[in-house]
Amino acid sequence: MSEPNPYHFEDLGDFGRAALKADCEKCFGLCCVSLPFAASSDFAMDKQAGEPCRHLQSDFRCGIHNSLRQKGFRGCTVYDCFGAGQKVSQFTYSGIDWRQAPETAKQMFEVFPVMRQLHELLAYLSEALSHADAHLIHEELRTQLHETQRLTELPPKEILKLDIPAHRAEVNLLLLKTSELVREEARRRYKGPSSRKNLKGRGADLIGAKLKGADLKFQSFRGAYLIAADLRDADLRITDLIGADFRDADIRGADLSGSLFLTQFQINAAKGNAATKIPAALERPFHWT
pTM over 0.75? The answer is yes
What is the distance of C-alpha 114 from the center of its chain?
A: 14
**196-289, CATH topology level:** Pectate Lyase C-like (2.160.20)
CA dihedral (145, 150, 151, 156) positive or negative: positive
Could you state, in order of their start, the residue ranges of all structural domains in the chain?
9-35+79-183, 196-289
Please tell me the predicted confidence (pLDDT) of residue 19.
87
Alpha helices in the chain (DSSP H): 31-34, 74-78, 84-86, 105-129, 138-152, 156-159, 164-189, 264-269
Q: What is the pLDDT of residues 101-116, one digit of tens each?
A: 999 999 999 999 999 9
The answer to whether 42 touches 102, Cβ cutoff 8 Å, is no
Backbone phi, psi, residue 220, to 5°: -115, 125
Percent of residues, the chain, with pLDDT higher than 70: 91
Residue 11 scores a pLDDT above 70: no
Q: What is the pLDDT of residues 31-85, one digit of tens each?
A: 999 999 999 999 999 999 999 999 999 999 999 999 999 999 999 999 999 999 9
Backbone phi, psi, residue 77, to 5°: -80, -10
Please tell me the predicted confidence (pLDDT) of residue 2.
45
- Give 234 or 15, the one with higher predicted confidence: 234
**Average pLDDT of span 2-6:** 53
Percent of residues, the chain, with pLDDT higher than 90: 87
